[in-house]
């Protein structure tokens, strides 16, 4: 083997090693996410815990879609999604922190033992809801959030935000524009009655 071949082989091995090391270093770590997310438990780990103002039960996150968690945290971090507490928490998160949190949150969840589940609404969700969120709210594509098991009053709050333009989202804004308060309440009741999201657990 000549010197040039040896040099090229050595360089190739070095590059491959560095690439593998970089991938390993960047891999999502659920344990690190659990540690970083300790403060998340103060709200999202308490069954039925309420946001002070406006008053709604803090959303369940255990088992939520990773892509949705990422988009939400990035929006809180850059200020495009408004909530003082979440903005303060997200502002210091690195991209790696967010990946670690996603790994923890998507694998977390407690048994659905909260007192927030209600009897299923007597209406089925609209076809436009089903297209992204599925018939039972579990979701059919990664980006939209899972709705099954979410707190009903939080869902109402979020839908009203889309309707009045407080929360951005072209698709959701267009869809909610035609919903009455009664429609929103029925949808929230239906999805909250499905088995799905859980409170976070350490």
The tens digit of pLDDT for each residue in 189-201 reads 999 999 999 999 8
CB count, 10 Å around CB of 34?
21
DSSP state for residue 62 in the 8-state scheme: B
Provide the pLDDT for residue 128.
84
3-class secondary structure per residue, the chain = CCHHHHHHHHHHHHHHHHHHHHHHHHCCCHHHHHHHHHHHHHHHCCCCCECCCCCCECCCCECCCHHHHHHHHHHHHHCCCCCHHHHHHHCCCCHHHHHHHHHHHHHCCCCCCCCCCCCCCCCCCCHHHHHHHCCCCCCCCCCCCCCCCCCHHHHHHHHHHHHHCCCCCHHHHHHHCCCCHHHHHHHHHHHHCCCCCECCCC
CATH superfamily of the domain spanning 3-192: Cytochrome c-like domain (1.10.760.10)
Of residues 42 and 139, more confidence is placed in 42
CA atoms of 58 and 48, how far apart (whole Å)? 7
Tell me what pLDDT residue 109 has. 63
Q: Place 179 in a pLDDT band, splitting at 50, 70 and 90.
A: very high
| CA atoms within 13 A of residue 22's CA, in its CB half-sphere | 6
CA angle, residues 93, 95, 101, in degrees to nearest 5: 70
Strand partners, 50: 57
Residue-wise pLDDT for 103-142, tens only, equals: 999 998 644 444 444 444 455 677 889 999 999 999 888 8
pLDDT per residue as tens digits for the range 63-94:
999 999 999 999 999 999 989 999 999 999 99
Q: Is the pLDDT of residue 160 over 90?
A: yes
Q: What is the mean pLDDT of residues 36-59?
A: 91
Q: Is the pTM of this model over 0.85?
A: no
d(CA 173, CA 167): 8
Q: Could you read off the pLDDT of 8-40 as tens digits, one per residue?
A: 555 555 455 445 444 444 699 999 999 999 999
pLDDT of residue 124: 63
């Amino acid at each position: 083997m000549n010197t040039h071949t040896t040099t090229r082989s050595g360089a190739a091995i070095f590059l491959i090693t560095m690439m593998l090391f970089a991938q390993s270093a960047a891999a999502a770590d659920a344990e690190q996410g659990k540690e970083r997310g300790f403060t998340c438990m103060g709200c999202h780990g308490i069954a039925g815990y309420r946001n002070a103002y406006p008053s709604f039960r803090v959303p369940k996150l255990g088992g939520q879609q990773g892509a949705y968690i990422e988009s939400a945290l990035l929006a809180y971090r850059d200020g495009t999604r408004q909530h003082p507490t979440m903005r303060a928490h997200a502002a210091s998160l690195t991209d790696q922190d967010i990946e670690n949190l996603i790994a923890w949150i998507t694998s977390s969840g407690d048994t659905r033992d909260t007192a927030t589940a209600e009897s299923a609404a007597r209406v089925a969700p609209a076809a436009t809801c089903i297209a992204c969120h599925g018939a039972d709210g579990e979701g059919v594509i990664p980006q939209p959030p899972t709705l099954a098991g979410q707190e009903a009053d939080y869902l109402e709050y979020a839908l009203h935000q889309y309707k009045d333009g407080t929360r951005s989202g072209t698709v959701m804004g267009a869809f909610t524009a035609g919903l009455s308060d009664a429609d929103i309440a029925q949808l929230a009741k239906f999805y909250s009655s499905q088995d799905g999201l859980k409170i976070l657990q350490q």
